[in-house]
């Protein structure tokens, strides 16, 4: 009846409203498995890791967090530092590059920049390990070109810098993609006006494109930062035995080698908080 009266008044009847009750029930039933998979495979484990982080030997305790503080507090700073360096590198290259490509379109450059999107994280980790190793293929090439003396080794590659470079290599593609989309959304007339006042390419990027695309830049930054903070396969493939480690590597060893699920979960909760902190900071700056 409702549908009929809506029709009589000239209103439209949406196809969904024409579904019979049995049909609707079947559709909802068909939608349940996907929800169940996410709840069983992610929602429930997420909650379990939260409770497990406060449990030891069946009792509620903060002992796991104490251990995290005692053993891994340096690694929290190390992880944030590596992610920040990676982010700086990604955007330090990504913003001028996307801006340049917005002003001077280049098919070849854009195609090349898409390549890392299709290279899985594990492969990036292995490729960078081989490439940046103290006597890796980068050094071999530099030798072959006669740019460095034969007895040099690349000292930086095994530490935080190598990790930051690898993370930036992988994330640059996504960041450029997001930024180019945002920069393309900036109307050409603003750039024409800037050029009319004599602004060169650098001024056009900094004074027009970046401020107008600020929300997208913020989103791209939060997306890459949370991904870098939680990065696991790249540091695992590049990891060395000693020195500070990324938090996810600590978590993996705590869980795999020590079988200490409680402390591993506490490290996990710290990583949730770091990710949530980045997201919160972004949301607050958007809301302003």
| Structure-derived torsion over alpha carbons of residues 81, 83, 84, 85, reported in degrees to the nearest 10 | 90
CA dist., res. 244 & res. 247, Å (int): 9
Give the binding range for other proteins (CB under 8 A) out of 6-14, 64-72, 82-90, 203-211. Answer: 6-14
Least distance in angstroms from the C-beta of 161 to other proteins: 15
Nearer to other proteins, 193 or 214 (CB): 193
Residues 6+ apart with CB under 8 A from 133: 139, 154, 157, 158
Least distance in angstroms from the C-beta of 4 to other proteins: 13
- 173 lines the binding site for other proteins (CB under 8 A): yes
CA dist., res. 91 & res. 182, Å (int): 14
Least distance in angstroms from the C-beta of 145 to other proteins: 10
CA dist., res. 175 & res. 98, Å (int): 9
CA dist., res. 260 & res. 252, Å (int): 10
Q: Is the separation of the CB atoms in 209 and 225 below 8 Å? A: no
**Which pair of structure tokens corresponds to residue 28?**
């909802």
Please select the residue that binds other proteins; options are 55, 65, 236, 244, rule is CB under 8 A: 236
Least distance in angstroms from the C-beta of 268 to other proteins: 3
Please select the residue that binds other proteins; options are 90, 98, 157, 227, rule is CB under 8 A: 227
- Which residue matches tokens 């999107």? 117
CA dist., res. 224 & res. 275, Å (int): 10
Please select the residue that binds other proteins; options are 54, 55, 159, 195, rule is CB under 8 A: 195
Nearer to other proteins, 210 or 266 (CB): 266
Write the DSSP assignment of 204-248 as a string of letters.
IIIIIIHHHTHHHHHHHHHHHHHHHHT--HHHHHH--SSS---HH
Least distance in angstroms from the C-beta of 31 to other proteins: 4
Please select the residue that binds other proteins; options are 6, 55, 63, 233, rule is CB under 8 A: 233
Give the binding range for other proteins (CB under 8 A) out of 59-67, 156-164, 204-212, 266-274. Answer: 266-274
Please select the residue that binds other proteins; options are 82, 163, 167, 178, rule is CB under 8 A: 178
Draw the binding track, 103-142, toward other proteins (x: CB under 8 A; -: no contact): xxxx-xx-xxxxxxxxxxxxxx-xxxxxxx--xxxx-xx-
Q: In the window 243-262, what residues touch other proteins (CB under 8 A)?
A: 248, 251-252, 255, 261
- 286 lines the binding site for other proteins (CB under 8 A): no
- 169 lines the binding site for other proteins (CB under 8 A): yes
| φ/ψ of residue 56, rounded to 5 | -145, 130
Q: What sign has the CA pseudo-torsion 176, 177, 178, 179? A: positive
- 12 lines the binding site for other proteins (CB under 8 A): yes
Give the binding range for other proteins (CB under 8 A) out of 63-71, 80-88, 167-175, 208-216. Answer: 167-175
Number of residues that bind other proteins (CB under 8 A): 102
Nearer to other proteins, 63 or 219 (CB): 219
Name which of 225, 125, 130 is nearest 166 in CA terms: 125
Please select the residue that binds other proteins; options are 90, 204, 245, 271, rule is CB under 8 A: 271
């Amino acid at each position: 009846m409702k549908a009929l009266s809506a029709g009589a008044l000239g209103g439209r009847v949406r196809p969904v409203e024409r579904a019979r009750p049995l049909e609707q029930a079947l559709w909802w039933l068909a939608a349940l498995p996907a929800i169940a998979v996410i709840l069983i495979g992610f929602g429930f484990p997420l909650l379990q890791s939260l409770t497990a982080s406060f449990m030891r030997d069946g009792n509620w305790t903060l002992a796991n967090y104490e251990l995290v503080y005692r053993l891994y507090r340096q690694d929290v700073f190390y992880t944030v530092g590596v992610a920040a360096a990676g982010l700086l590198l990604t955007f330090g290259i990504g913003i001028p590059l996307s801006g340049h490509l917005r002003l001077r379109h280049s098919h070849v450059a854009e195609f090349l920049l898409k390549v890392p999107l299709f290279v899985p994280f594990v492969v990036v980790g292995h490729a960078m390990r081989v490439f940046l190793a103290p006597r890796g293929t980068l050094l071999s090439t530099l030798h072959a070109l006669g740019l460095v003396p034969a007895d040099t080794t690349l000292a930086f590659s095994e530490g935080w810098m190598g990790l930051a470079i690898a993370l930036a290599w992988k994330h640059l593609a996504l960041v450029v993609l997001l930024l180019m989309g945002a920069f393309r959304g900036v109307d050409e007339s603003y750039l024409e006006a800037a050029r009319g006042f004599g602004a060169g390419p650098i001024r056009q990027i900094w004074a027009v494109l970046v401020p107008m695309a600020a929300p997208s830049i913020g989103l791209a930054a939060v997306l890459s930062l949370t991904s870098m903070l939680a990065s696991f396969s790249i540091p695992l493939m590049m990891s060395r035995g000693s020195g500070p480690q990324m938090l996810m590597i600590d978590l993996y060893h705590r869980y795999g080698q020590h079988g200490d699920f409680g402390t591993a979960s506490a490290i996990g909760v710290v990583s949730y908080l770091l990710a949530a902190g980045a997201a919160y900071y972004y949301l607050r700056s958007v809301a302003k």
